[in-house]
Amino acid sequence: MSDHPTIALTRELIARPSVTPEDAGCQQLIGERLSALGFNLESMVFEDTTNLWARRDSQAGGLFCFAGHTDVVPAGDLSKWQTPPFTPTDIDGVLYGRGAADMKGSLAAMVVATERFIAQYPEHAGSISFLITSDEEGPFINGTTRVIDTLEARNEKITWCIVGEPSSTKYCGDIIKNGRRGSLTGDLVVEGIQGHVAYPHLARNPVHQAALALHELAQTQWDQGNDYFPPTSFQISNIHAGTGAGNVIPGVLNVQFNLRFSTETTDQALIERITQLLDSHELEYKIDWTFNGQPFLTDSGSLVEAVQSAVTRVVGNAPVLSTAGGTSDGRFIAPTGAQVIELGPVNASIHKVNEHVSHDDLIVLTDMYEQTLIELLVTRA
């Protein structure tokens, strides 16, 4: 069993059952390590969510931020786990436990990388900060977005930010996310008139009425995408109508859909197009929209260059830039003007039973984070 400090800290974090929105003492543990390095700690509690903003100022220069979350998704059926989810267990060079890959391993690597960096370069240029939430896996309304609102109100600007989401696919560092698509959810209710299936002239079937509109929505090409993003996608995720009886025409149809959109469009443009399409089918409907975040992109700049250089130096191969996947808290940080990328371990086991991360990934990730700090705050300063 490896005694590498990143692996040891990851074990300590996994042992704390921090299911959203609980932090379970993870931020206190991290805060103690950062305080010993001269970080000023600021706990920001909003409703049921605990957040940590930690900052260490050095010489003049930009503000680098490590961002991540201590909360994890529920473990689910415990009988399906080969080891208890909140008992960190090492088997053949792999560490098992809920949050191992998403993303307590990344947090541990960030802390240890910062400790090593400051020990070597105590008078580095610029400042280093940590933005840690316990609300990323939940409704994400009292976490990073509220911290960013607080920082913006006092004009405290992040220059560069690495989010520790598990970005890698085959080996740690093969892919870094330099952007994410936007996300927009629609909850559509189409009104009809309930009746007996034998007397359709006395009813109005909302399923029949909406079918052509839904088909048109599913077939619509919203945009062409661009060099960094695929075309905007539309997917129906839930659909329901009827009472359960086979002889009743339903009176209401409920449809939930989601669009993952590129920088070629906006949430408002999509809402306008969908509303016009629904209106053209003369439906009696109402629709509620949930906006989950704008797309963001860091297509160039000192952060991308520094991370590419750091990853190449550590693993010998240049990483691929990608915007694939779901949303992350980077969507709240990028609109402030910060350069944002995501770099973390292999994501194959995240949100699954027997979640795990390899010891090698944690060691390599620590080296990548440390080398990025050197690139930005020493070499390029």
196 among annotated binding-site residues: no
How many angstroms separate the CA atoms of 325 and 369, rounded? 22
Annotated catalytic residue: which of 22, 115, 135, 136? 136
Tokens of residue 295, six digits: 């797309």
165 among annotated binding-site residues: yes
137 among annotated binding-site residues: yes
How many angstroms separate the CA atoms of 170 and 157, rounded? 34
Evaluate whether 286 touches 206 at the Cβ level (below 8 Å).
no
Evaluate whether 241 touches 252 at the Cβ level (below 8 Å).
yes
How many angstroms separate the CA atoms of 324 and 316, rounded? 23
Count of CB atoms within 10 A of residue 40's CB? 12
Active site residue 48: no
Evaluate whether 163 touches 296 at the Cβ level (below 8 Å).
no
Annotated catalytic residue: which of 22, 23, 71, 342? 71
Count of CB atoms within 10 A of residue 284's CB? 12
69 among annotated binding-site residues: yes
Active site residue 216: no
How many angstroms separate the CA atoms of 370 and 76, rounded? 35
Residue 77 vs residues 15, 82, 83, 84, 141: alpha-carbon distances, Å: 18, 11, 12, 11, 27
Binding site feature residues for Zn(2+): 69, 102, 137, 165, 351
**Which residue numbers belong to the known binding site?**
69, 102, 137, 165, 351
Would you please indicate which residues are annotated as catalytic (active-site) residues?
A: 71, 136
